[in-house]
């Protein structure tokens, strides 16, 4: 294998390699351009943007737009900035991700190591939930939240996201645990470990990679959700995405593009951070179980 | 009643019965090996003893206590798995004491038990490592340590050596035997390797197709196989089985076989009651080591028969030379001394030890008992 690939590398030659790197560089720049524009313009006074050149670096560097977006910008009728909504999102995402991951892991454990009659059907139905479009459940969900008296609250949003997230979390953990040797579970049974002891002591400690995948996936999806946030929690309980929309839409005359850019980056920052911190485990976890050894 | 009793145990999955009325009594300190080809039900039976699989009908009891429906952890058994099943997230020491911890043994006792077992198996220096950092042989030792530390009534081994390379397998085999000799524990051991079965066991149960074909000491199994399956499964190379006709010559039963030229040769049986089969077809079974050159023939045997036949192929293996010839229309293997002078294609006078020959009923394939 290695000999063959060296041969290939040699035969591509210097010109070919330069071409490859140039192309890659070009694409990288292309993908980075929007982010660059956002960043640059969020650090300019408004006058420089309306004055024309969006791509130029700021002549007058300022973090005022960031401060404004965070704490004083007009969101709807209140000049609160995005701060309270940022914490709304955190209060929504963290419990939802934790609950989903725990239930998903437990589901995966039961569906692979404590098989029962009809378990594949149960799993199939759970998978089905991954593919139901959000719009379809809006009205029934609104009704249920109403009955539970948590409509318009962060708790309501947590419930909605947990319900949607369990399908994916179960899928991840089931496939991961399917490759987990059943002999280990049997050995633990003989050793006298019970249902939950086997789960906590044997399976969970070996679930690092898939947990990272699951958490990144759920965190990103739930943080970025707009539809459920806008439908079930507008007003004080609105999550970051909805607040960002309101920030952009509620103008007091002048459109403060620099503040909007800063707000958009703030809204994207947590998911970005999660990727940077845990991203290298992401691919590793996705591959786990698919290839043996 | 024995120490471990398996009484009329059957196992069905839906309508399919995979184990049929298995009946084995194991005495205390015995080393019982369940041997058979894949799918014969030997692992299923072991899992039923362990409590990992339910019993469809019949009864399994250990120390006169019926175990049907008793949780695996409450049977006072320990099991060594084929993949060793070491917990990857725990250190070797933790792996070994996990069972004790789950059974609520105090920490000091656990530490002491761990120390004893570790020094017995010479794994003291590995206790802080993770299973992933161990070699195959070391993992095997840890797996045995985990079983030993519990001081169980019965040890269950599920093909514990099949993941090791050939040399290590032989070493570990000896070590398991030593361990059993020292500790005198009761062992049920599953394998598909008939040499492991022969070398380790005090008794063997040969299984095939969900039936126990024969239960007996290694010598009984080897010398007096109950049927053609047992005869050909045990032993390497396998027992030669060829069609023959019983013919009475001077009042004594002989086996009439066609040789490589198509001529009939006769070999006198040592088994007198075969006179009842005069004129009928039988299957004649002769182990390779019972066909030798005349100089190497067993001097204690009262019935060495001469057999002139053409040599087909010779295969020197170092310790022995295997000689293949055609007899009764089958390829027959003889096991000769390493420095025998047999040459391929030539006629040779073989010596057949007919005291070791067995005869089978061609219809039922069961042995015709003397």
A180: how many CB neighbours lie within 10 A of its CB? 21
The stretch A5-22 carries a mean pLDDT of 73
Distance CA A65, CA B119 (A): 70
Strand partners, B290: none
Grouping H, G, I as helix, E, B as strand and the rest as coil, residue A191 is helix
Terminal Cα-to-Cα distance of chain A (whole angstroms): 18
A115 has a chain B CB within 8 A of its CB: no
Question: Of A41-50, A200-209, B182-191, which gets the smallest average pLDDT?
Answer: A41-50
Q: How far apart are CA B228 and CA A160, in angstroms?
A: 67
Chain A: give the shortest CA distance to residue B17, in Å. Answer: 19
Q: Nearest by CB to B79, from A184, A187, A201: name it.
A: A187
Residue with the bigger pLDDT between A7 and A141: it is A141
Average pLDDT of the residues of chain A: 81
**pLDDT tens digits for range B4-55:** 888 888 888 888 888 888 888 888 889 999 998 888 888 888 888 888 888 8
Alpha carbons B226 and B211: distance in angstroms, whole number: 13
Domains for chain B: give ranges and CATH numbers. Answer: 4-232 (3.40.50.300), 240-360 (2.40.50.140)
Within 8 A of A183 by CB-CB distance, chain B residues are 81-83, 85
> pLDDT at position A103, please?
92
Mean pLDDT of all residues belonging to chain B:
87
CB proximity under 8 Å: A 20-79 to B:
none
Instruction: Please report residues of A whose CB lies closer than 8 A to that of B148.
Output: none
Quote ipTM for the complex.
0.75
Identity of the residue in A183, A190, A202 whose CB atom sits nearest the CB atom of B73: A190
What is residue A283's predicted lDDT score, i.e. its pLDDT?
65
Report the alpha-carbon distance of residue A157 to residue A163 in Å, rounded: 10
CB pairs under 8 A between A and B: 56
Residue from the list B51, B88, B99 with its beta carbon closest to the beta carbon of A191? B99
pLDDT above 50: residue B288: yes
What single DSSP character describes residue B37? S
Tens of pLDDT along B134-151? 888 888 888 888 888 888
Domains, chain A, in order of start with CATH, read 2-65 (no CATH), 83-287 (1.10.3720.10)
Residue A292: predicted pLDDT: 38
- Outline where chain A has alpha helix (H): 2-42, 46-50, 64-67, 83-113, 119-130, 134-147, 154-178, 182-191, 195-197, 208-224, 227-232, 240-249, 257-287
Q: Of A183, A197, A205, which is closest to B102 when you measure between CB atoms? A: A197
Mutate to test the interface with B, among A115, A190, A206 (most CBs of B within 10 A): A190
Give tens-digit pLDDT for B67-91: 888 888 888 888 888 888 888 888 8
Say how far apart CA A144 and CA A166 lie, in whole Å.
18
User: Is pLDDT above 80 for B161?
Assistant: yes
Name every chain A residue with its beta carbon within 8 A of the beta carbon of B71. Answer: 189
Task: Give the pLDDT score at A118.
Answer: 83
Q: What is the pLDDT of residue A289?
A: 45
pLDDT at residue number A284: 65
Name the residue in chain B with its Cα closest to that of A186. B52
pLDDT reported for residue A62: 81
Distance of CA A233 to CAs A81, A138, A249, Å? 17, 12, 17
Cβ pair A113, A194 in contact under 8 A: no
Cβ(B190)–Cβ(B158) under 8 Å? yes
**Whether A202 and B87 lie within 8 Å, measured CB to CB:** yes
pLDDT of residue A4: 47
Nearest to B78 among A190, A202, A206 (CB): A190
Q: Which residue has the higher pLDDT, A199 or B261?
A: A199
| Residue of B14, B52, B74 best to disrupt the A interface, most CBs of A under 10 A | B52
The shortest C-alpha distance from A198 to chain B (Å) reads: 10
Angle between helices A257-287 and A240-249 (to 10 degrees): 150
| B78: contact with A, CB 8 A cutoff | yes
Average confidence (pLDDT) over B239-261:
87
Range B228-257 average pLDDT: 89
Q: Which pLDDT score is estimated for A12?
A: 63
Cβ neighbours of B152 in A, within 8 Å:
none
| pLDDT tens-digit map of A70-129 | 877 777 777 777 778 888 888 888 999 999 999 999 998 998 888 888 888 888 888 888
Tell whether B87 lies on the interface with A, counting CB pairs under 8 A. yes
Better-predicted residue by pLDDT, A6 or A253: A253
Residues 15-54 of B with CB under 8 A from A: 50-52
Summarize pLDDT for B291-328 with one digit per residue, the tens.
Answer: 988 888 877 877 888 888 888 899 988 888 999 998 88
C-alpha span between B45 and B39 (Å, rounded): 11
- pLDDT at site B125: 85
The Cα of B255 is separated from the nearest Cα of chain A by a number of Å equal to 51
Nearest to A181 among B85, B99, B146 (CB): B85
* Residue A271 C-alpha, separation from nearest chain B C-alpha, in angstroms: 30
Confidence of residue A24 (pLDDT cuts 50, 70, 90): very high
Provide the 10 A C-beta neighbour count for residue A140: 9
Segment B107-122 mean pLDDT: 85
Other Cβ atoms less than 10 A from the Cβ of A274: the count is 19
CA B154 to chain A, closest CA, distance in angstroms equals 12
């Amino acid at each position: 294998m290695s000999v063959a690939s060296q041969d290939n590398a040699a035969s591509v030659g210097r010109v070919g390699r330069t071409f490859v790197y140039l192309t890659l560089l070009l694409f990288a720049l292309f993908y980075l351009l929007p982010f660059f524009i956002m960043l640059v313009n969020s650090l300019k006074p408004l006058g420089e943007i309306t004055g024309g050149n969006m791509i130029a670096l700021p002549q007058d560097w300022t973090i005022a737009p960031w401060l404004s977006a965070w704490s004083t910008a007009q969101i709807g009728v209140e000049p609160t900035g995005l701060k309270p909504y940022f914490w709304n999102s955190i209060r929504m995402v963290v419990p939802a991700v934790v609950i989903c991951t725990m239930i998903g892991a437990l589901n995966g454990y039961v569906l692979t190591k404590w098989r029962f009659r009809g378990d594949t059907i149960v799993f199939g139905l759970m998978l089905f939930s991954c593919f139901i479009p959000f719009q379809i459940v809006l009205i029934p969900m609104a009704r249920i939240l109403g009955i539970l008296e948590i409509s318009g609250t962060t708790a309501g949003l947590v419930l909605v996201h947990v319900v949607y997230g369990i399908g994916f979390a179960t899928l991840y953990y089931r496939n991961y645990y399917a490759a987990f040797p059943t002999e280990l579970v049997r050995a633990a049974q003989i050793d006298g470990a019970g249902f939950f002891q086997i789960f906590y002591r044997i399976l969970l400690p070996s679930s690092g990679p898939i947990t990272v995948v699951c958490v990144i996936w759920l965190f990103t999806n739930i943080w970025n959700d707009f539809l459920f946030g806008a439908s079930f929690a507008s007003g004080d309980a609105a999550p970051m995405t909805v607040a960002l929309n309101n920030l952009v839409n509620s103008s007091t005359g002048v459109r403060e593009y620099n503040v909007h850019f800063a707000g958009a980056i703030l809204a994207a920052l947590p998911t970005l951070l999660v990727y940077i911190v845990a991203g290298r485990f992401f691919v590793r976890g996705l591959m786990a179980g698919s290839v043996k050894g | 009643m024995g120490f471990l009793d398996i009484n009329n145990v059957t196992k069905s999955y839906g309508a399919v019965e995979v184990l049929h009325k298995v009946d084995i009594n194991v005495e205390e300190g015995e080393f019982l090996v369940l041997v058979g080809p894949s799918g014969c039900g030997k692992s299923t039976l072991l899992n039923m003893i362990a409590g990992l699989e339910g019993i469809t009908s019949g009864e399994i009891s250990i120390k006169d206590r019926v175990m049907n429906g008793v949780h695996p952890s409450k049977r006072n058994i320990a099991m060594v798995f084929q993949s060793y099943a070491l917990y990857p997230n725990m250190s070797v020491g933790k792996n070994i004491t996990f069972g004790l911890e789950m059974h609520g043994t105090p920490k000091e006792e656990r530490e002491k038990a761990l120390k004893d077992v570790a020094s017995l198996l010479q794994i003291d220096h590995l206790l802080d490592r993770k299973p992933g950092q161990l070699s195959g042989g070391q993992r095997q030792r840890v797996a045995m340590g985990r079983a030993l530390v519990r001081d169980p009534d019965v040890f269950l081994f599920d093909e514990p050596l099949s993941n090791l390379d050939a040399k290590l397998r032989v070493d570990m085999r000896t070590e398991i035997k030593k361990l059993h000799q020292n500790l005198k524990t009761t062992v049920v051991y599953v394998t598909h390797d008939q040499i492991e079965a022969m070398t380790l066991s005090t008794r063997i149960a040969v299984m095939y197709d969900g039936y126990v074909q024969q239960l007996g000491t290694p010598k009984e199994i080897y010398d007096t196989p109950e049927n053609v399956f047992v005869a050909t499964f045990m032993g390497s190379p396998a027992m030669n089985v060829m069609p023959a006709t019983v013919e009475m010559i001077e009042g004594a039963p002989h086996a009439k076989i066609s040789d490589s030229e198509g001529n009939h040769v006769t070999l006198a049986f040592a088994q007198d009651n075969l006179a009842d089969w005069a004129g009928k077809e039988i299957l004649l079974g002769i182990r390779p080591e019972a066909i030798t050159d005349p100089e190497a023939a067993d001097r204690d045997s009262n019935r060495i028969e001469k057999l002139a036949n053409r040599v087909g192929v010779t295969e020197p293996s170092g310790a022995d030379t295997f000689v293949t010839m055609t007899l009764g229309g089958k390829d027959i293997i003889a096991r000769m001394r390493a420095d025998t002078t047999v040459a391929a294609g030539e006629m040779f006078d073989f010596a057949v030890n007919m005291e070791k020959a067995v005869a089978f009923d061609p219809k039922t394939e069961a042995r015709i008992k003397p």
